[in-house]
Amino acid sequence: MSERLARLRTMMQEHELDAVVITHLSNRFYLSGFLAEDHPPDESAGHLVINQDRAVIVTSPIETENAGNQAPDFEIHAMSRETPGLAANDAIVLQSMGATRVGFEDSAILYKDFKTLRKQLGEDAKLVALGSAVDNLRKVKTADEIEALALALRITDEALAKVEPTIVAGETEKAVGWRIEQAFRELGADGPAFPTIVASGPNGALPHHPTGDRIIQEGEPIVIDMGAYIGGYCGDLTRTVWVGEPEPKLREIYQIVYRAIEAAEAGIKPGMTGKEADALARDVIADAGYGDQFIHSLGHGLGVRVHEGPSLSPRYNQPLEPGNVVTIEPGIYIPGWGGVRIEDVATITADGIDVFTTSPKRTV
Protein backbone atom coordinates (compact mmCIF):
# COMPACT_ATOMS: atom_id res chain seq x y z
CA MET A 1 0.00 0.00 0.00
CA SER A 2 2.94 2.37 0.55
CA GLU A 3 3.51 2.68 -3.23
CA ARG A 4 -0.15 3.55 -3.77
CA LEU A 5 -0.12 6.16 -1.02
CA ALA A 6 3.05 7.65 -2.49
CA ARG A 7 1.33 8.08 -5.86
CA LEU A 8 -1.72 9.61 -4.17
CA ARG A 9 0.51 12.07 -2.32
CA THR A 10 2.25 13.02 -5.55
CA MET A 11 -1.17 13.77 -7.05
CA MET A 12 -2.00 15.85 -3.96
CA GLN A 13 1.14 17.93 -4.47
CA GLU A 14 0.23 18.49 -8.10
CA HIS A 15 -3.19 19.80 -7.00
CA GLU A 16 -1.64 21.78 -4.09
CA LEU A 17 -3.79 19.94 -1.53
CA ASP A 18 -3.22 19.78 2.21
CA ALA A 19 -5.31 16.60 2.49
CA VAL A 20 -7.90 14.44 0.74
CA VAL A 21 -11.06 12.73 1.89
CA ILE A 22 -11.63 9.37 0.19
CA THR A 23 -15.29 8.33 0.18
CA HIS A 24 -15.38 5.88 -2.74
CA LEU A 25 -15.41 2.36 -1.28
CA SER A 26 -13.20 0.98 -4.09
CA ASN A 27 -10.59 3.69 -3.61
CA ARG A 28 -10.74 3.17 0.15
CA PHE A 29 -9.82 -0.49 -0.36
CA TYR A 30 -7.24 0.29 -3.03
CA LEU A 31 -5.38 2.76 -0.83
CA SER A 32 -5.75 1.05 2.56
CA GLY A 33 -6.77 -2.59 2.17
CA PHE A 34 -9.86 -1.99 4.32
CA LEU A 35 -12.74 -4.12 3.07
CA ALA A 36 -16.02 -3.80 4.93
CA GLU A 37 -19.74 -4.17 4.45
CA ASP A 38 -21.00 -1.07 2.71
CA HIS A 39 -24.56 -0.44 1.54
CA PRO A 40 -24.21 2.41 -0.93
CA PRO A 41 -25.16 5.09 -1.46
CA ASP A 42 -25.97 6.07 2.12
CA GLU A 43 -24.35 3.43 4.36
CA SER A 44 -20.55 3.54 4.22
CA ALA A 45 -18.30 1.57 6.54
CA GLY A 46 -15.65 4.27 6.50
CA HIS A 47 -13.75 7.08 4.84
CA LEU A 48 -10.05 7.82 4.50
CA VAL A 49 -8.43 11.14 5.44
CA ILE A 50 -4.87 11.46 4.15
CA ASN A 51 -2.23 14.17 4.15
CA GLN A 52 1.50 14.04 3.48
CA ASP A 53 2.29 12.68 6.96
CA ARG A 54 -0.77 10.80 8.17
CA ALA A 55 -3.26 8.27 6.80
CA VAL A 56 -6.43 7.81 8.84
CA ILE A 57 -9.45 5.52 8.54
CA VAL A 58 -12.61 7.12 9.91
CA THR A 59 -15.10 4.41 10.82
CA SER A 60 -17.61 3.24 13.40
CA PRO A 61 -16.60 1.50 16.64
CA ILE A 62 -17.88 -1.84 15.33
CA GLU A 63 -15.37 -1.71 12.44
CA THR A 64 -12.26 -0.47 14.27
CA GLU A 65 -10.78 -3.92 14.86
CA ASN A 66 -11.38 -4.99 11.25
CA ALA A 67 -9.89 -1.75 9.99
CA GLY A 68 -6.83 -2.11 12.19
CA ASN A 69 -6.24 -5.70 11.06
CA GLN A 70 -6.72 -5.00 7.37
CA ALA A 71 -4.92 -1.64 7.25
CA PRO A 72 -2.10 -1.80 9.81
CA ASP A 73 -0.33 1.26 8.37
CA PHE A 74 -3.34 3.50 9.01
CA GLU A 75 -4.45 5.31 12.13
CA ILE A 76 -8.02 4.45 13.18
CA HIS A 77 -10.40 7.22 14.20
CA ALA A 78 -13.65 5.83 15.63
CA MET A 79 -16.82 7.88 15.63
CA SER A 80 -18.23 8.72 19.04
CA ARG A 81 -21.80 9.06 20.27
CA GLU A 82 -21.11 12.72 20.89
CA THR A 83 -20.04 13.27 17.26
CA PRO A 84 -21.90 10.81 15.01
CA GLY A 85 -21.49 10.67 11.25
CA LEU A 86 -18.46 10.01 9.08
CA ALA A 87 -18.24 13.49 7.56
CA ALA A 88 -18.30 15.20 10.95
CA ASN A 89 -15.43 12.99 12.05
CA ASP A 90 -13.60 13.55 8.77
CA ALA A 91 -13.71 17.24 9.67
CA ILE A 92 -12.28 16.56 13.13
CA VAL A 93 -9.32 14.71 11.61
CA LEU A 94 -8.81 17.39 8.95
CA GLN A 95 -8.78 20.10 11.61
CA SER A 96 -6.20 18.13 13.61
CA MET A 97 -4.05 18.13 10.46
CA GLY A 98 -4.46 21.87 9.96
CA ALA A 99 -5.78 21.22 6.45
CA THR A 100 -7.40 24.16 4.68
CA ARG A 101 -7.26 23.01 1.03
CA VAL A 102 -8.99 19.63 0.92
CA GLY A 103 -9.64 17.38 -2.07
CA PHE A 104 -12.85 15.32 -2.22
CA GLU A 105 -14.29 12.74 -4.59
CA ASP A 106 -17.14 14.68 -6.17
CA SER A 107 -18.60 11.59 -7.89
CA ALA A 108 -18.66 9.56 -4.67
CA ILE A 109 -19.80 11.81 -1.84
CA LEU A 110 -23.27 12.36 -0.41
CA TYR A 111 -24.46 15.94 -0.63
CA LYS A 112 -25.18 15.96 3.10
CA ASP A 113 -21.58 14.91 3.78
CA PHE A 114 -20.28 17.66 1.52
CA LYS A 115 -22.40 20.20 3.37
CA THR A 116 -21.14 18.88 6.73
CA LEU A 117 -17.51 19.24 5.64
CA ARG A 118 -18.11 22.73 4.30
CA LYS A 119 -19.87 23.84 7.48
CA GLN A 120 -17.46 22.31 10.01
CA LEU A 121 -14.26 23.29 8.22
CA GLY A 122 -15.44 26.87 7.94
CA GLU A 123 -15.01 29.65 5.43
CA ASP A 124 -11.22 29.57 5.51
CA ALA A 125 -11.15 26.03 4.07
CA LYS A 126 -11.49 25.28 0.36
CA LEU A 127 -12.98 22.01 -0.88
CA VAL A 128 -11.48 20.95 -4.22
CA ALA A 129 -13.31 18.52 -6.52
CA LEU A 130 -10.90 15.82 -7.73
CA GLY A 131 -12.89 14.45 -10.64
CA SER A 132 -11.29 11.17 -11.74
CA ALA A 133 -7.84 11.93 -10.30
CA VAL A 134 -8.01 9.23 -7.61
CA ASP A 135 -9.69 6.66 -9.90
CA ASN A 136 -6.92 7.21 -12.44
CA LEU A 137 -4.35 5.90 -9.97
CA ARG A 138 -5.89 2.45 -10.46
CA LYS A 139 -5.45 2.34 -14.25
CA VAL A 140 -1.90 0.95 -14.24
CA LYS A 141 -1.74 -2.21 -12.15
CA THR A 142 1.09 -3.04 -9.76
CA ALA A 143 2.72 -6.49 -9.73
CA ASP A 144 0.66 -7.56 -6.71
CA GLU A 145 -2.53 -6.45 -8.46
CA ILE A 146 -1.63 -8.46 -11.56
CA GLU A 147 -1.18 -11.49 -9.31
CA ALA A 148 -4.53 -10.89 -7.59
CA LEU A 149 -6.32 -10.50 -10.92
CA ALA A 150 -4.66 -13.62 -12.31
CA LEU A 151 -6.08 -15.61 -9.38
CA ALA A 152 -9.60 -14.24 -9.88
CA LEU A 153 -9.41 -14.97 -13.60
CA ARG A 154 -8.03 -18.48 -13.06
CA ILE A 155 -10.94 -19.34 -10.78
CA THR A 156 -13.33 -17.88 -13.34
CA ASP A 157 -11.86 -20.07 -16.09
CA GLU A 158 -11.98 -23.16 -13.89
CA ALA A 159 -15.60 -22.52 -12.92
CA LEU A 160 -16.68 -22.35 -16.57
CA ALA A 161 -14.72 -25.51 -17.37
CA LYS A 162 -16.58 -27.24 -14.56
CA VAL A 163 -20.07 -26.06 -15.48
CA GLU A 164 -20.16 -25.71 -19.27
CA PRO A 165 -20.16 -29.49 -20.00
CA THR A 166 -23.16 -29.94 -17.68
CA ILE A 167 -25.49 -27.55 -19.51
CA VAL A 168 -28.46 -29.33 -21.07
CA ALA A 169 -31.55 -28.33 -23.01
CA GLY A 170 -34.63 -28.18 -20.83
CA GLU A 171 -33.04 -26.51 -17.80
CA THR A 172 -33.40 -22.87 -16.83
CA GLU A 173 -30.91 -20.04 -17.07
CA LYS A 174 -31.08 -19.74 -13.27
CA ALA A 175 -30.02 -23.36 -12.82
CA VAL A 176 -26.87 -22.78 -14.87
CA GLY A 177 -26.13 -19.49 -13.12
CA TRP A 178 -26.47 -21.09 -9.70
CA ARG A 179 -24.02 -23.87 -10.60
CA ILE A 180 -21.49 -21.27 -11.76
CA GLU A 181 -21.73 -19.35 -8.48
CA GLN A 182 -21.46 -22.59 -6.51
CA ALA A 183 -18.32 -23.44 -8.49
CA PHE A 184 -16.80 -20.07 -7.60
CA ARG A 185 -17.18 -20.85 -3.91
CA GLU A 186 -15.95 -24.41 -4.25
CA LEU A 187 -12.84 -23.15 -6.04
CA GLY A 188 -12.02 -20.71 -3.25
CA ALA A 189 -13.57 -17.43 -4.39
CA ASP A 190 -15.34 -15.06 -2.01
CA GLY A 191 -18.29 -15.07 -4.41
CA PRO A 192 -19.25 -13.60 -7.78
CA ALA A 193 -17.83 -10.24 -8.83
CA PHE A 194 -21.24 -9.36 -10.29
CA PRO A 195 -24.55 -11.18 -10.82
CA THR A 196 -23.83 -14.02 -13.24
CA ILE A 197 -25.51 -13.57 -16.63
CA VAL A 198 -26.93 -16.56 -18.46
CA ALA A 199 -28.84 -15.23 -21.48
CA SER A 200 -30.37 -17.89 -23.73
CA GLY A 201 -32.02 -17.49 -27.10
CA PRO A 202 -33.58 -14.03 -27.59
CA ASN A 203 -32.46 -12.97 -24.10
CA GLY A 204 -28.92 -12.85 -25.48
CA ALA A 205 -29.85 -9.65 -27.34
CA LEU A 206 -29.65 -7.90 -23.96
CA PRO A 207 -25.99 -7.50 -22.93
CA HIS A 208 -26.96 -7.24 -19.24
CA HIS A 209 -29.90 -9.65 -19.24
CA PRO A 210 -30.98 -10.61 -15.69
CA THR A 211 -30.65 -14.40 -15.52
CA GLY A 212 -34.17 -15.82 -15.39
CA ASP A 213 -36.49 -18.80 -15.72
CA ARG A 214 -36.34 -19.21 -19.50
CA ILE A 215 -35.84 -22.80 -20.61
CA ILE A 216 -32.69 -23.41 -22.66
CA GLN A 217 -33.28 -24.89 -26.13
CA GLU A 218 -30.97 -26.88 -28.41
CA GLY A 219 -29.04 -25.01 -31.10
CA GLU A 220 -29.62 -21.47 -29.79
CA PRO A 221 -26.96 -19.09 -28.46
CA ILE A 222 -26.35 -19.02 -24.70
CA VAL A 223 -24.33 -15.98 -23.63
CA ILE A 224 -22.61 -16.56 -20.27
CA ASP A 225 -20.96 -13.55 -18.58
CA MET A 226 -19.32 -14.41 -15.27
CA GLY A 227 -16.54 -13.43 -12.90
CA ALA A 228 -15.12 -14.63 -9.60
CA TYR A 229 -14.37 -12.19 -6.78
CA ILE A 230 -11.49 -12.87 -4.41
CA GLY A 231 -9.31 -10.70 -2.21
CA GLY A 232 -10.96 -7.52 -3.43
CA TYR A 233 -10.32 -8.18 -7.15
CA CYS A 234 -12.68 -9.18 -9.96
CA GLY A 235 -12.65 -11.72 -12.73
CA ASP A 236 -14.62 -11.28 -15.95
CA LEU A 237 -15.29 -13.76 -18.76
CA THR A 238 -17.88 -14.17 -21.48
CA ARG A 239 -18.38 -17.16 -23.70
CA THR A 240 -21.23 -17.93 -26.10
CA VAL A 241 -22.08 -21.62 -26.06
CA TRP A 242 -24.88 -23.88 -27.27
CA VAL A 243 -26.36 -27.32 -26.71
CA GLY A 244 -26.25 -29.70 -29.66
CA GLU A 245 -25.64 -28.33 -33.13
CA PRO A 246 -25.70 -24.54 -33.62
CA GLU A 247 -28.42 -23.15 -35.86
CA PRO A 248 -27.24 -21.51 -39.14
CA LYS A 249 -27.72 -17.94 -37.90
CA LEU A 250 -25.61 -18.70 -34.84
CA ARG A 251 -22.85 -20.11 -37.04
CA GLU A 252 -22.80 -16.92 -39.11
CA ILE A 253 -22.83 -14.46 -36.20
CA TYR A 254 -20.40 -16.43 -34.08
CA GLN A 255 -17.78 -16.53 -36.84
CA ILE A 256 -17.95 -12.73 -37.24
CA VAL A 257 -17.49 -12.09 -33.51
CA TYR A 258 -14.69 -14.65 -33.36
CA ARG A 259 -12.86 -12.84 -36.17
CA ALA A 260 -13.41 -9.53 -34.39
CA ILE A 261 -11.80 -10.63 -31.13
CA GLU A 262 -8.94 -12.25 -33.02
CA ALA A 263 -8.30 -8.97 -34.89
CA ALA A 264 -8.39 -6.93 -31.70
CA GLU A 265 -6.04 -9.21 -29.79
CA ALA A 266 -3.59 -9.25 -32.68
CA GLY A 267 -3.56 -5.47 -33.01
CA ILE A 268 -3.84 -3.87 -29.57
CA LYS A 269 -0.58 -2.33 -28.37
CA PRO A 270 0.59 0.38 -25.99
CA GLY A 271 0.37 3.93 -27.26
CA MET A 272 -2.77 3.39 -29.31
CA THR A 273 -5.88 5.08 -27.98
CA GLY A 274 -8.91 3.26 -26.63
CA LYS A 275 -10.76 4.50 -29.71
CA GLU A 276 -8.20 2.91 -32.02
CA ALA A 277 -8.34 -0.37 -30.12
CA ASP A 278 -12.14 -0.41 -30.34
CA ALA A 279 -11.96 0.12 -34.10
CA LEU A 280 -9.91 -3.06 -34.59
CA ALA A 281 -12.96 -5.16 -33.72
CA ARG A 282 -15.68 -2.73 -34.72
CA ASP A 283 -14.44 -2.54 -38.30
CA VAL A 284 -14.63 -6.33 -38.67
CA ILE A 285 -18.23 -6.36 -37.44
CA ALA A 286 -19.21 -3.33 -39.54
CA ASP A 287 -17.68 -4.83 -42.69
CA ALA A 288 -19.83 -7.93 -42.12
CA GLY A 289 -22.95 -5.73 -42.06
CA TYR A 290 -23.63 -5.75 -38.31
CA GLY A 291 -22.07 -2.47 -37.18
CA ASP A 292 -25.34 -1.19 -35.73
CA GLN A 293 -25.70 -4.38 -33.70
CA PHE A 294 -22.40 -3.87 -31.83
CA ILE A 295 -23.99 -1.65 -29.22
CA HIS A 296 -21.28 -1.25 -26.57
CA SER A 297 -17.59 -0.49 -26.42
CA LEU A 298 -14.98 -3.16 -27.03
CA GLY A 299 -13.84 -3.27 -23.43
CA HIS A 300 -13.09 -1.68 -20.09
CA GLY A 301 -10.52 -1.76 -17.34
CA LEU A 302 -10.73 -4.46 -14.69
CA GLY A 303 -9.47 -4.44 -11.12
CA VAL A 304 -11.08 -3.74 -7.77
CA ARG A 305 -14.18 -2.89 -9.80
CA VAL A 306 -15.61 -4.77 -12.75
CA HIS A 307 -15.76 -1.56 -14.77
CA GLU A 308 -12.92 0.94 -14.37
CA GLY A 309 -10.42 2.77 -16.54
CA PRO A 310 -9.15 2.68 -19.17
CA SER A 311 -11.87 2.17 -21.76
CA LEU A 312 -11.67 0.60 -25.21
CA SER A 313 -14.34 2.86 -26.61
CA PRO A 314 -14.99 5.15 -29.58
CA ARG A 315 -15.06 8.00 -27.02
CA TYR A 316 -11.74 7.23 -25.28
CA ASN A 317 -8.90 9.18 -26.85
CA GLN A 318 -6.23 8.54 -24.23
CA PRO A 319 -3.35 6.13 -24.96
CA LEU A 320 -3.14 2.65 -23.48
CA GLU A 321 -0.16 2.00 -21.19
CA PRO A 322 1.77 -1.08 -20.12
CA GLY A 323 0.15 -2.36 -16.94
CA ASN A 324 -3.41 -1.55 -18.00
CA VAL A 325 -5.68 -4.58 -17.60
CA VAL A 326 -8.64 -4.56 -19.99
CA THR A 327 -11.47 -6.73 -21.20
CA ILE A 328 -11.77 -7.40 -24.94
CA GLU A 329 -15.39 -8.30 -25.67
CA PRO A 330 -16.93 -7.70 -29.09
CA GLY A 331 -20.55 -8.67 -29.54
CA ILE A 332 -23.50 -8.66 -31.93
CA TYR A 333 -27.05 -8.33 -30.58
CA ILE A 334 -30.15 -8.95 -32.68
CA PRO A 335 -33.53 -8.27 -31.01
CA GLY A 336 -35.89 -11.24 -31.23
CA TRP A 337 -33.10 -13.66 -32.06
CA GLY A 338 -30.31 -13.31 -29.50
CA GLY A 339 -26.67 -12.38 -29.34
CA VAL A 340 -23.07 -13.50 -29.38
CA ARG A 341 -20.32 -12.06 -27.20
CA ILE A 342 -16.81 -13.40 -26.62
CA GLU A 343 -14.64 -11.87 -23.90
CA ASP A 344 -11.04 -12.26 -22.81
CA VAL A 345 -9.03 -10.25 -20.29
CA ALA A 346 -5.53 -9.04 -21.13
CA THR A 347 -2.79 -6.81 -19.75
CA ILE A 348 -1.09 -4.27 -21.98
CA THR A 349 2.62 -5.08 -22.27
CA ALA A 350 5.59 -3.21 -23.72
CA ASP A 351 4.84 -4.44 -27.23
CA GLY A 352 1.29 -5.82 -27.28
CA ILE A 353 -0.92 -7.74 -24.88
CA ASP A 354 -0.72 -10.78 -22.64
CA VAL A 355 -4.06 -12.60 -22.44
CA PHE A 356 -4.93 -13.95 -18.99
CA THR A 357 -8.01 -15.87 -20.11
CA THR A 358 -7.50 -19.55 -20.83
CA SER A 359 -11.08 -20.73 -21.42
CA PRO A 360 -11.28 -22.17 -24.93
CA LYS A 361 -13.51 -20.47 -27.47
CA ARG A 362 -15.88 -22.68 -29.41
CA THR A 363 -15.40 -22.99 -33.14
CA VAL A 364 -18.04 -23.55 -35.83
User: Domain residues of the chain, as ranges?
Assistant: 2-137, 143-355
C-alpha dihedral sign at 147, 149, 150, 154: positive
Q: Are strands 331-334 and 55-59 parallel, antiparallel or unpaired?
A: unpaired
Decide if domain 143-355 falls under CATH 3.90.230.10.
yes
Q: What is the pTM of this model?
A: 0.94
For the chain, 364 residues long, give each residue's pLDDT as a single digit of tens: 789 999 999 999 999 999 999 999 999 999 999 998 888 888 899 999 999 999 999 999 999 999 999 999 999 999 988 888 999 999 999 999 999 999 999 999 999 999 999 999 999 999 999 999 999 999 999 999 999 999 999 999 999 999 999 999 999 999 999 999 999 999 999 999 999 999 999 999 999 999 999 999 999 999 999 999 999 999 999 999 999 999 999 999 999 999 999 999 999 999 999 999 999 999 999 999 999 999 999 999 999 999 999 999 999 999 999 999 999 999 999 999 999 999 999 999 999 999 999 999 998 8
Backbone angle region of 98, left / alpha / beta, with phi > 0 → left and psi within -120 to 50 → alpha: left
Three-state SS at 58? strand
330 preceded by cis ω (within 30°)?
no
Identify whether the C-beta of residue 32 lies closer than 8 Å to the C-beta of residue 57.
yes
Within its chain, how far is the Cα of 348 from the centroid? Answer: 16
Residue 18 carries which DSSP code? S
DSSP annotation of 138 reads G
Selected from 3.10.620.30, 3.40.350.10, 3.40.50.1110, 3.40.50.970, the CATH number assigned to the domain covering 2-137 reads 3.40.350.10
Hey, how many other C-beta atoms are within 10 angstroms of the C-beta on 84?
10
Sign of CA dihedral 258, 261, 264, 266: negative
Per the CB < 8 A criterion, the answer to whether 153 and 237 are in contact is yes
